[in-house]
Amino acid sequence: MYTVVTGAAGFIGANLVKALNERGVRKIIAVDNLSKADKFRNLVDCEIADYLDKNEFIERLAAGDFDGDVDAILHQGACSDTMESDGRYMMENNYRYSLALLDWCLDQEAQFLYASSAATYGGGGVFREERQHEAPLNVYGYSKFLFDQIVRQRFATADSCNSQVVGFRYFNVYGPRESHKGRMASVAFHHYHQFQSEGRVKLFEGCEGYADGEQRRDFVYVDDIARVNLHFLEHPEKSGIFNVGTGRAQTFNELAVANVNACRALAGQEALPLAELVKSGLIEYIPFPADLRGKYQNFTQADLTKLRKAGYKGEFSKVEEAVPQYVKWLNGRA
């Protein structure tokens, strides 16, 4: 039996392929769209049984080529660009594609684990997996929200009784294998490259009651994301839609301090506190963009109550722990 990973050459998908390999899984069908060819590098150190273009995979799935041969689909394939304005493309790529895979897995009684997003919550301040807290601000968030709604409808029918269906609402993910994402790569990624090129990290000044650099996000390391996925893969009796973050909101200042000090450590320099980094010009505050006012998430923090009730007991790394690991990985590939 095969395990299928869609979006396999992408950020989270490639990390899942690698994590599966580390657990001895080699019969993996990697599915992706390599129109952005640079993504192939994410799979160079991974072992897979086959690679299929997304369109070919959909055609062969519909033709019955994989009937009875797949025990699980880890569906990470999506357009994750929150600035994408082509709603027709977004809905076809994120919603219709996901729906086709869901229906196939329900028919085949195969496990279906898929990537949702914290973007489903929009600008609200409560991040709990409940309908009243969901109000996406862009078509990306809406595509994820709508599919979650369909999954909830399926949960209410007998069709899903024999199939595991799990949606993961990822928060601000960072870590190895995201270089191809360009401007959509994580803040941690951009901090590292900004420090390497300019010798400083730039953060937004305060706004809407937040002091300089004190806006807060739930930054979650991609290794922790992979562990959550594999936990549910090993527990096919558990279904649902779950937040996947650390459950803590950390400031952009904390993220920048961890990044700059990790870079300094590579150069044999001592760690400095925030005040010293600012005084030395290694962290700089820039005016908050006028066009982002009222559209910017100043705070995100995953409510992990439902995830913990489902039995996941794993700990999530703080930025002080994971960012230095990531910086070493980036530096080794500079």
Q: For residue 227, say whether it is annotated as part of any ligand binding site.
A: no
259 appears as a binding residue in the annotation: no
- The annotation status of 309 as a binding-site residue, yes or no, is no
| 56 assigned ligand-binding residue | no
279 appears as a binding residue in the annotation: no
Task: Give CA–CA dist 34/62, Å, rounded.
Answer: 21
- Residue 43 tokens read as 């799979």
- Confirm or deny that 77 is annotated as ligand binding: yes
Is 164 annotated to bind a ligand? Reply is: no
SS3 of residue 279 by DSSP: helix
- For 243-259, letters b (16+ CB in 10 Å) and e give bbbbbebbbbbbbbbbb
Q: Is residue 78 marked as binding?
A: yes
Encoded tokens for 19 = 């994590």
Q: Is the dihedral of CA 246, 250, 252, 257 positive or negative?
A: negative
Q: Is 50 annotated as a binding residue?
A: no
Tell me phi and psi for residue 115, to 5 degrees.
Answer: -90, 115
Q: What is the rounded distance in angstroms from the CA atom of residue 106 to the CA atom of residue 20?
A: 23
The residue ranges of DSSP E strands in 155-210, in sequence order, are: 165-170, 172-174, 201-204
Question: Can 140 be counted among the known catalytic residues?
Answer: yes
The annotation status of 92 as a binding-site residue, yes or no, is no
Active site residue 181: yes
- For every residue of 44-102, DSSP letters joined together read TT---SEEEEHHHHHHHHHTTTTTTTEEEEEE------TT---HHHHIIIIIIHHHHHH
Q: Is residue 303 part of an annotated ligand binding site?
A: no
**CB 177 within 8 Å of CB 11:** yes
User: Would you state the structure tokens that stand for residue 128, as one six-digit string?
Assistant: 């709990």
173 assigned binding-site residue: yes
**Ordered alpha helix ranges (H), the chain:** 11-22, 54-62, 87-90, 97-108, 139-155, 187-198, 222-233, 252-266, 274-279, 305-309, 319-332
- Would the annotation count 218 as a binding residue? no
User: What are the residues whose beta carbons fall under 8 Å from the beta carbon of 334, sequence distance 6 or more?
Assistant: 196
328 labelled binding-site residue: no
Q: Is 39 one of the annotated binding-site residues?
A: yes
The response to whether 48 counts as a known ligand-binding position is: no
Cβ(34)–Cβ(43) under 8 Å?
no
Q: Among 2, 95, 121, 140, which one carries the catalytic annotation?
A: 140
Contact between 207 and 298 (Cβ < 8 Å): yes
Catalytic site residue from 27, 181, 202, 306: 181
Q: Any binding-site annotation on 160?
A: no
193 is in an annotated binding site: no
Under 8 Å between Cβ of 94 and 143 = yes
**Binding site residue list for NADP(+):** 11-12, 32-33, 39, 54, 76-80, 93, 144, 173, 181
**Binding site residue list for substrate:** 172, 183, 190, 204-207, 217, 296
**Binding site residue list:** 11-12, 32-33, 39, 54, 76-80, 93, 144, 172-173, 181, 183, 190, 204-207, 217, 296
What are the catalytic residues? Answer: 140, 181
